[in-house]
Amino acid sequence: MSRWQYFLRRVLMSIPVVIFGTTITFALIRLGPLDPVSAILGTQYNPQAAEQIRTNLGLNQPLWSQYFDFMYRLFTFQLGQSWVIAPGTTAYELIQVYAPRTIWLGFWSVLIALFVGIPLGFYAGLNPNTLSDYVASFGGIVWRAMPNFWLAIMLVTALSQTGQWTNGFFTWQTWIVKTNVVTPPALGFFQDPIQGFLADPGGWFNSFLKATKQIAPAALVLGSASMGNEMRIGRTAVLETINSNYVETARAKGVSGRSLVWKHIFRNALIPLVPIITGEAFLLLGGSVFVETVFAINGLGWLFFNAAINGDLPLIGTLMYIFILILVGTNILQDFLYTVIDPRVGYEG
Amino acid sequence: MSTQTETEIPLRQRVAENPQPALVWAAIGAVLVGVELGAILQVVVAIGGVIVNLVPGDPGAALVTSLQESLKGIPTLVSREFIPNQGYWNGSEWVGTFLGLSPGQAWAVRFVVVYAYAFAVLGWLWDGYKRYRQYYRRADWTPRDDVVNRFRGHTWGQFGLVITIAFVVMAVFAPALGPTTMEQNILQPYDYEINYFDEESQTVETALVGEANIGSGSQGAGDENVAPMTYDDYGRFHPFGTATNGKDLFTQVVFGARISLTIATVAMGIAGIIGLSLAMITAYYKGLADLAIVLASDSIQALPVIMVLILMLVIFQNTWVRDLYDGAVLIILIFSLVYWPFIWRSIRGPAFQVSEQDWIDAAKSFGQTPGQVMRKHMAPYVFSYMLIYASLSLGGIIISVAGLSYLGLGITAPTPEWGRLIADGQQYVASPSWHISLIPGVLITLVVTGLNAFGDGIRDAIDPQADTGDEAAATGGGA
């Protein structure tokens, strides 16, 4: 089987997965003990309003027809609307408002994790069993074991106190640009990036810096687990490639140290890192609930959490579907990267 | 070893031929059990009581209660009664504490005794294994010896083992470790009275525990703070200080360890059983069965774990399942349903490998049923792979449970939980009451690091070449 056939098969396999995953969500929402109507009405329950909502949501239909309706709407991207936390607002509008903050957060947490975790791991792998290796490895393990929400609380406190602790020498809030520690990032400058940049490059850059600084602590926390993973895997991968025969051969035929590290070790050591990097999607989605709660960033995780505790079941179903699409999409991306990076993929069956 | 041959001498006879090592071991064991006899019998009776409770009509309830009462009289080494630390200052000396020591010292003595006893028991078990291996085992060598020896050379894994044991001991001996009891300090503080020395009137006064708690909360500044390793105004010692509501933090932390570890191990156990059974079925029957499970597990794995947990906890919020053990039972069920695909994934490969072996064919042609083949000839082979994965995932569950409790969705009051303690002290981190949030978080980090290290050790010991152990599993889905 060629690599592309293998890849195509993986893509086809993901269709039933999306269907099945969405079905599980439907079953939870509709067959679970929580009645969506009383959840929507809450304390203001009265029979007429309940009947009205029941009709609007189609809850009077037989279950199978509700199911097909639910699936059909989601798969044709008629995403419905919120009923409790922002009544009448369509899910599209909500996602448009909330998603950019989460994407911004996710972008930086992937980036920070990559640019700290992998170099540290490779450094540790290239200098195995030295003091710096032990410090880096142990630090990575402990860093990874810290619960995100707790780390976030500690970081918020530490950053808010930097002024007092250093006697005003270094204050996070006023460092470079003035920001608060606990705040959603101001992403207004992304509305029309090119126009905005051309009109006022200095101001645009300033707001870019500001938004980055606002998100940096949260991104550092959210990337912590991935950073630790990338470090560990990076270290092992480098150790394995260093001791492999082809590196030995390359060294024997006189390849220079720099070329050996970059061409022969680095590239091959990247392969096992691919699933770790794509696997971050899970950590980012799950972690966003906690990190966004602590840092008061009203993004998708925060939206989901609030929709859940307020019983906004229609919105939850939609969000779940989006999350499943993101996760399945990342898995497909992972297989795609594999087929590109590693020529051996697909030949093993 | 499992097949009984004609020439094999039974273990009993082997011991009879050379009784000395076994006798020494048994004697030490008798002492260790003897000093804890009261506690052990109480546990047995308590379990009996639960079983009796299940029988309709409660025929033996009275018997159980009277037994429990009479057992309290047996002195036990590791108990609050033997080394009491809850006393009061009467102006010249401490009354009611162990040897008249201060409550803090008495508590420290008990703490040390608990851990000394626990490690003595473990050392005794280890010694028993060594004696068996040296004097009584028929085979000079088994493959398991290599696993044990590899682990003995794995410092990192041993570090993890020690940390893990420390937390398991904390969970098991939680009632004896706390400076006060759950019942008195946390559950029914208004049903208990304590004596304390009033500085102003220079007399011993009485107060309800609940009132004392109100007077010794940690809410930031100056007077309203009971820091770790200090006494409150009522002469009570607090190793980890108090929570915002004045309840003892250490007591909550040790009981929090109990619930966290229970959830993690039971959930992993159930997920392991499901994963292992399905792996056996898919490896044995292959084809359609395999495809169906691949689809089901892929779909469950495509769901974001934390979101599913939040959703299910919300959906079941007003049902009776949610109230069992303050939500722990529901959380365990959800975790087992969400985690089995990961376990199944990690052992599917080895299970397929073993199903291709000749001995499976042989067993089939001997007329063994599929169930027997799976249980006796396939499961033992893949079990170690499952152990690796499960041990690496325990930390992730502990973090997730703490995270959910932090959000107010996980374990509800009154059962203490680390995540809820962190939420409780969140706004005081920068104040003198920093201990409320910091200590539970440090403990979570410590236990997760320990469990991961232990898992690494198990992996390297069982299979030095193993590539299993999903890194993401150890991080609790991002909580």
**Which residue has tokens 């939206």?**
A303
Q: Please, are residues B326 and B256 in contact by the beta-carbon 8 Å criterion?
A: no
Two tokens, residue B343: 């376990």
Two tokens, residue B470: 């999903």
Asked if B307's CB is within 8 angstroms of A304's CB, the reply is yes
Closest-CA residue to B472 (of A277, A33, A258, A314): A277
Which residue from A13, A141, A153 is facing B422, i.e. has the nearest CB? A153
Two tokens, residue B437: 């949030």
Asked if A324's CB is within 8 angstroms of B479's CB, the reply is no
The whole-angstrom separation of Cα A183 and Cα A214 is 7
- Nearest chain A CA: its distance from B297 CA (Å): 9
Closest-CA residue to A284 (of A215, A212, A205): A215
- Nearest chain A CA: its distance from B82 CA (Å): 38
pLDDT of B85 above 70: yes
The whole-angstrom separation of Cα A233 and Cα B160 is 20
**Closest residue on chain B to A151 (Cα):** B441
**Closest residue on chain A to B401 (Cα):** A147
Residue A295, by phi and psi: left (phi above 0), alpha (psi -120 to 50) or beta?
alpha
Two tokens, residue B52: 């009796």
Q: Please, are residues B205 and B212 in contact by the beta-carbon 8 Å criterion?
A: no
pLDDT score at B88: 87
For residue B399, the chain A residues in CB contact (below 8 A) are 145, 147
Which residue from B295, B403, B408 is facing A147, i.e. has the nearest CB? B403
pLDDT score at A347: 53
Q: Please, are residues B440 and B245 in contact by the beta-carbon 8 Å criterion?
A: no
For residue B409, the chain A residues in CB contact (below 8 A) are 309
pLDDT band with cut points at 50, 70 and 90 for residue B1: very low
| Cis before B414 (ω within 30) | yes
**Closest residue on chain A to B440 (Cα):** A150
Which residue from B316, B422, B448 is facing A145, i.e. has the nearest CB? B448
The mean pLDDT value for B186-210 works out to 87
**pLDDT tens over chain A, length 349 residues:** 677 787 888 888 889 889 988 998 898 888 878 777 777 777 777 788 888 888 877 778 888 888 888 888 888 888 888 888 888 888 888 988 899 999 999 999 988 888 998 889 888 888 888 998 889 888 888 888 899 999 999 999 888 888 788 877 787 877 777 777 777 887 777 767 777 777 777 778 888 888 888 888 999 999 888 888 888 888 888 888 888 888 888 888 888 888 888 878 877 777 777 777 777 788 888 888 999 999 988 899 999 999 888 888 888 889 999 999 998 998 888 888 877 777 666 555 4
Residue-wise pLDDT tens digits, B398-407? 999 999 999 9
The whole-angstrom separation of Cα A13 and Cα B218 is 56
The whole-angstrom separation of Cα A321 and Cα A315 is 10
Asked if B437's CB is within 8 angstroms of A149's CB, the reply is no
**Closest residue on chain A to B403 (Cα):** A149
**Closest residue on chain A to B430 (Cα):** A157
Two tokens, residue B321: 């399942």
B219 phi and psi, to 5 degrees? Answer: -130, 50
Closest-CA residue to B170 (of B419, B418, B436): B418
The whole-angstrom separation of Cα B329 and Cα B23 is 43
Which residue from B296, B402, B452 is facing A147, i.e. has the nearest CB? B402
Asked if B452's CB is within 8 angstroms of A147's CB, the reply is no
The mean pLDDT value for B82-90 works out to 86
For residue B403, the chain A residues in CB contact (below 8 A) are 147-149, 290
The whole-angstrom separation of Cα B408 and Cα B404 is 6
The kind and range of the H/E element at A335 are helix A313-341
Asked if B316's CB is within 8 angstroms of A33's CB, the reply is yes
Asked if B403's CB is within 8 angstroms of A141's CB, the reply is no
**Which residue has tokens 């630390």?**
B85
Which residue from A276, A285, A305 is facing B407, i.e. has the nearest CB? A305
The kind and range of the H/E element at A110 are helix A91-126
Two tokens, residue B279: 């792996």
Closest-CA residue to A288 (of A304, A312, A307): A304
What single letter denotes the amino acid at residue A124?
Answer: A
pLDDT band with cut points at 50, 70 and 90 for residue B57: low
Asked if A323's CB is within 8 angstroms of B422's CB, the reply is no
Which residue from B319, B406, B471 is facing A149, i.e. has the nearest CB? B406
Asked if B303's CB is within 8 angstroms of A154's CB, the reply is no
Closest-CA residue to A314 (of A31, A21, A57): A57
What single letter denotes the amino acid at residue A63?
Answer: L
Between B308 and A266, name the one with better pLDDT: B308
Asked if A289's CB is within 8 angstroms of B407's CB, the reply is yes
pLDDT score at B272: 94
For residue B295, the chain A residues in CB contact (below 8 A) are 16-17, 20
For residue A29, the chain B residues in CB contact (below 8 A) are 311, 315
For residue B446, the chain A residues in CB contact (below 8 A) are 145
**Closest residue on chain B to A20 (Cα):** B299
Q: For residue A52, how many other CB atoms are within 10 A of its CB?
A: 13
**Closest residue on chain A to B392 (Cα):** A145
CATH class of A93-341: mainly alpha
Which residue from B311, B407, B453 is facing A316, i.e. has the nearest CB? B311
The whole-angstrom separation of Cα B96 and Cα B72 is 18
Which residue from A34, A148, A308 is facing B310, i.e. has the nearest CB? A308
pLDDT score at B295: 87
Predicted TM-score of the model (pTM): 0.89
For residue A309, the chain B residues in CB contact (below 8 A) are 314, 408-409
pLDDT score at B439: 94
Asked if A33's CB is within 8 angstroms of B478's CB, the reply is no
Between B365 and A171, name the one with better pLDDT: B365
Interface contacts A/B by beta carbons within 8 Å? 182
- In sequence order, the β-bridge partners of residue B237 are B231
**Which residue has tokens 């001997």?**
B366
**Closest residue on chain B to A280 (Cα):** B472
Domain boundaries defined on chain A: 3-75, 93-341
Asked if A160's CB is within 8 angstroms of B430's CB, the reply is yes
Q: Three-state SS across chain B?
A: CCCCCCCCCCHHHHHHHCCHHHHHHHHHHHHHHHHCHHHHHHHHHHHHHHHHHHCCCCCCHHHHHHHHHHHCCCCCCCCCCCCCCCCEECCCCEECCHHHCCHHHHHHHHHHHHHHHHHHHHHHHHHHHHHHHHHHCCCCCCHHHHHHHHHHCCHHHHHHHHHHHHHHHHHHCHHHHCCCCHHHHHHCHHHCEEEEEECCCCEEEEEEHHHHHHCCCCCCCCCCCCCCCEECCCCCEECCCECCCCCEHHHHHHHHHHHHHHHHHHHHHHHHHHHHHHHHHHHHHCHHHHHHHHHHHHHHHCCCHHHHHHHHHHHCCCCHHHHHHHHHHHHHHHHHHHHHHHHHHHHHHHHHHHHCCHHHHHHHHCCCCHHHHHHHHHHHHHHHHHHHHHHHHHHHHHHHHHHHHHCCCCCCCCCCCHHHHHHHHHHHCCCCCCHHHHHHHHHHHHHHHHHHHHHHHHHHHHCCCCCCCCHHHHHHHHC
Asked if B474's CB is within 8 angstroms of A320's CB, the reply is no
First to last CA, chain A: 7
| Interface predicted TM-score (ipTM) of this complex, two decimals | 0.87
The whole-angstrom separation of Cα A213 and Cα A209 is 6
For residue B429, the chain A residues in CB contact (below 8 A) are 153-154, 157
Between B42 and A322, name the one with better pLDDT: A322
Asked if A320's CB is within 8 angstroms of B303's CB, the reply is yes
- Nearest chain B CA: its distance from A321 CA (Å): 9
The per-residue pLDDT of chain B, averaged, comes to 86
Domain boundaries defined on chain B: 183-247, 251-469
Asked if A147's CB is within 8 angstroms of B319's CB, the reply is no
**Which residue has tokens 């990961």?**
B342
Query: What CATH architecture is B251-469?
Result: Orthogonal Bundle (1.10)
- State the sign of the Cα–Cα–Cα–Cα dihedral B304, B310, B313, B316: negative
B36 phi and psi, to 5 degrees? Answer: -115, 15
Which residue from B311, B429, B444 is facing A28, i.e. has the nearest CB? B311
B204 phi and psi, to 5 degrees? Answer: -90, 125
Residue-wise pLDDT tens digits, B151-175? 998 999 999 999 999 999 999 999 8
pLDDT score at A162: 83
